[in-house]
Chains A and B, each alone.
Chain A
Amino acid sequence: MMADQIKVAYWPGCVSRGFTPELHGSMAIVAQKLGIELVELDRANCCGAGVIAEHNQELADTLNARTFALAQQTGLSMMNICSTCQGAQSECQQRLDADSAYRAHVNEALSGQGLAYEKDKNGFTNKNFLWLLVEDYGLDRLREQVVRPLNGLRVGPFYGCYIVRPKERLGYGEFPDRDIYLEKVIEALGGQVVEYDGARKCCGFPVVTMARETSLRQAGTHVGDAIDAGADCLVTPCPLCHLNLDMQQPEAAKIVNRDLGLAVLHLPQLVALALGAEPKELGMNKHVASTGWVEERLTAGAPA
C-alpha cells in the first residue's frame, strides 16, 4: 500500500450504523481529512461477534469469508472500525488460512455468487482503523495533520478485548506494539495519556443481557478507575465497548454505587477533533455521558 494514497475496502460493522451512528459519520469525516479513500462494503454481512461462532464455527467462518471475498473483489485490503469485528474476523481468517481443504469447503458455499476467499491475495489484510493509522498512515504524518492539538487533554485508552487478545491470532508477532497504539495516537494528537487499570480489560458488553450485574460492574469499575486517575475522557476503537461504557454508564453507576459521568469518545472522533472537526458534526452531543467537559477543555486550551 502506498503510504501517500490509502484506499481501503471499508467494513463499518453493524453497530456503527445502528446504536452508535455517530461513529460511522465521524469515520467519514476523519477519512476525508486524512485523505483515506473508503470503498464501503455495503453488501457485506455481520461478523457474528463471536456469538455465531459459539453456535456454529463453520457458519461464522463462511459468513466472514464472504466479507473477505467481497473486499478482495475490490482489489483492496480491508479496514474495520470495531475491535469486535477485528477479533471475530481475525479468528475466522486464521482458521481459513491454516487449512486449504477447509478453505475450499467454505468457498463452495460462496461459489453460487462467484465469490471466493483467497489466502494472501494481493497481500490481503484486514485492519482496524487504529492499526491502519499507525502502521500504514504513520504517526509522523498524523502529527503533521493536527490543527487543533488536544492540549494536554487527559485521555484514557480503552482497547476492547477482541483487539488485544489472543496475541498469537492478532498479528502481535509482526506488530508487537499493537496494544500500545492508542497511547501513541493520543500522544501524537497532543493529548496526555492517563494510565489506569482498565485500559485492556473487558467492558462487559458480551454478557450485558445474560449477566447484567457482572457486565455493568466491569464497565462501571473501569470508568471509575479512569476518573480516579484524572481522565477527562476515554477513547475506544470499539463501538460495543462504547455501548457499555457510554450508553450504559448511568446504569453502571448504580451497580458500582458511585457517581460517574465520564465522556467516552470513539477513536475517529478524537482524531477528527485534533484535525479541526467540530464536536457537533462528530455527533458528540448525542452521547449519553456528556462530552461538554472535553469541549470546554479543548476551547479553553486552544492557542489564540
Chain B
Amino acid sequence: MAEYTIKVRRFQPESGEGPYWEEFNVDLEPSLAVLDGLLQAKDNEDGSLAVRCSCRAAICGSCGMKINGQSGLGCKTQIGEAQELANKVASAAGAKVDNAPIVIEPMGNMPVIKDLITDMESTHWTKIRRVTPWLLPHGEPPEREYVVEPESMIDITQSMACIQCGACVSSCLSMEADPDFIGPAALAKAYRFVGDPRDAETHERLHDLADDPHGIYDCTHCFSCIDACPKGVAPMDQIMRLRRKAGEEGIEDPNAGHAHEVAFVKIIEKKGTLDEAMLVQESYAPGIKGKLKPSKRGIRETIKSLPTILRPLRKRKVKLRQAIPGTHHKLPGDAMDDVKAIYAHAEEHNEEFNLYIKGEEGELVDENVEKGIERSTDPDTAEAK
C-alpha cells in the first residue's frame, strides 16, 4: 500500500460558488486505478464527490477525466503511474519532487455539471449525431446478413474500437480554438462508415465533411487525440484517411485543404524541398497562373496574408526572391532523379500496404501484413458481394 494525495477540481452548481480545488489523502496499491483512489475518497471522506463510472475495466467509457492534464480514463490509469507523472511535471523546472499531488480535473471542451461529471450531450453526442452514425446501405437489405470480404473490413476495425468516452474530445486542441470543430470522436465515427464497404453514401459523406468549414480540414494535426484515446482508435489518423479519400474523390473543399495537399505533393515532386511561397499561393488561389480566376476566398485570403509576408521582407528576414512563388531552387539533378523515381514507384502500383500494423519485427505482424498487403484501394473491389 502507498499513500497518495489527489487534488480534485470540484464544482457544485447549487452552491452558487465557482470551481475550487480539494485535496484528499488515499491509501492503495500503486497498481490500482486513479478511479479507485477517487472512490476511496468518496467512501471515506466526502460522499458528495461526484464521478461517473460503471465497469471499471475500460469498456464502458464512463470515467473520462483529465489526470495531470492528460485526458484518459480514470479506471485505466494506474495511480502509481499518475504519481510518477505528477512528480515529473512538478520537478520539470527545478528541484526533484517525490509526492506531488495527482491533479484530477473534469474533461475539457465540455460544460461541467458537477465535480468530474461533464455534459457529454452538448458537445460529444451532438457532434456524433452530426455525422449520421449509422449504415446507409445499398438498396433493400439482403434476406440474411450482409456478406463482405474480411479484408475489406480491416480498414475500419480501428475506428470500431471507440467506446465513446470523450477523452479525445477533451484533449482536442482544435476544438479549444474552434468549438464548432466536428472533432476527433465524431470524425473517427464518420470514417467507420466511410470505410465500410456496405455503405452506399461514401461520396456524400465525404462531401459533407469536406464542405463544412469546421470539418476534416479544421483538424490541426496535433496528435492529442491519439495519446488520449484509451482504445487505440487514433482519431487523427482516421481524419487523415478521410482527407485522403476526399482527395481521391476529387472533392474541392472551401478551406482549400485539398488544394494545399495537392500543391505540397507537387512542389516536392518538382523541387525536392519546399517552395514556401508557391505553397501559400497554391493554397489560397490554386492554379492562379493558369486560370486567372482564383476563388473569392482565394483573393480574400491572399489579401489577408499580405502583411504576414511584407513584415519579414521589410526586416530582410526573407529575401524578395524567396517571396516570389516558383523561384525556389531545385535539388541537384541526380537528387531530383531519385525523387522522381520515388514518386513513380509509390504511385504506380496503386496498392496500399496495410499501414495500420504497428509493432516490432516478428510480433503479430506478418500474417496481417500478408493479408493487408494486397488490399486494393479501389472501392469497387471492396464492394459488398
Interface residues of A (CB under 8 A from B): 14-15, 17-22, 43, 45-46, 48-59, 62-63, 66, 87, 94-95, 97-102, 105, 108-110, 112-113, 115, 119, 161-162, 165-167, 176-177, 180, 183-184, 186-187, 193, 195, 201-202, 204, 206-207, 209-215, 217-218, 221, 247-248, 250-251, 283, 285-288
For B97-134 the 0/1 string (1 means CB < 8 A from A) is 00000000000000000000000000000000000000
**A55 with B283: in contact, given A100-B361, A183-B93, A251-B308 (CB under 8 Å)?**
no
Whether the Cβ atoms of A162 and B223 lie closer than 8 Å is yes
Specify which chain A residues have a CB less than 8 angstroms from the CB of B256 in the assembled complex: 209-210
Q: Which of A161, A165, A167, A183 has the most CB of B within 10 A?
A: A165
Q: Quick one: closest B residue to A115, CB to CB?
A: B338
**A201 with B222: in contact, given A14-B276, A187-B94 (CB under 8 Å)?**
yes
Cα A213 to Cα B173 with chains together (Å): 13
Q: Which of B219, B315, B373 contacts A207 (CB 8 A)?
A: B219
Specify which chain A residues have a CB less than 8 angstroms from the CB of B279 in the assembled complex: 209
Specify which chain A residues have a CB less than 8 angstroms from the CB of B21 in the assembled complex: none
Does B149 sit within 8 A of A, measured CB to CB?
no
**A53 with B222: in contact, given A105-B353, A218-B176 (CB under 8 Å)?**
no
Whether the Cβ atoms of A286 and B178 lie closer than 8 Å is no
Whether the Cβ atoms of A46 and B307 lie closer than 8 Å is no
Whether the Cβ atoms of B92 and A183 lie closer than 8 Å is yes
Q: 13 extra interchain contacts, Cβ-Cβ under 8 A, other than A55-B261, A180-B92, A218-B173?
A: A15-B276, A19-B276, A19-B322, A43-B331, A46-B273, A49-B264, A98-B359, A112-B337, A204-B177, A209-B279, A209-B283, A209-B284, A247-B312
- Minimum CB–CB distance for B43 against chain A, Å: 33
Q: Quick one: closest A residue to B266, CB to CB?
A: A55
Q: Which of B181, B304, B339 contacts A212 (CB 8 A)?
A: B304
Specify which chain A residues have a CB less than 8 angstroms from the CB of B355 in the assembled complex: 57-58, 95
Specify which chain A residues have a CB less than 8 angstroms from the CB of B370 in the assembled complex: 101
**A250 with B227: in contact, given A45-B272, A102-B353 (CB under 8 Å)?**
no
Chain A interface helix/strand/loop/mixed:
helix
Whether the Cβ atoms of B312 and A19 lie closer than 8 Å is yes
Does B316 sit within 8 A of A, measured CB to CB?
yes
Q: Quick one: closest B residue to A290, CB to CB?
A: B315
For B342-356 the 0/1 string (1 means CB < 8 A from A) is 110111000011010
Find residues 197-219 in chain B having any chain A CB closer than 8 Å to their own CB. Answer: 213, 217-219
Specify which chain B residues have a CB less than 8 angstroms from the CB of A18 in the assembled complex: 274, 276, 322, 328
Number of interface residues of B (CB under 8 A): 80
Q: Which of A19, A54, A214 contacts B240 (CB 8 A)?
A: A54
- Minimum CB–CB distance for A225 against chain B, Å: 12
Cα A92 to Cα B235 with chains together (Å): 18
- Minimum CB–CB distance for B266 against chain A, Å: 10
Whether the Cβ atoms of A176 and B220 lie closer than 8 Å is no
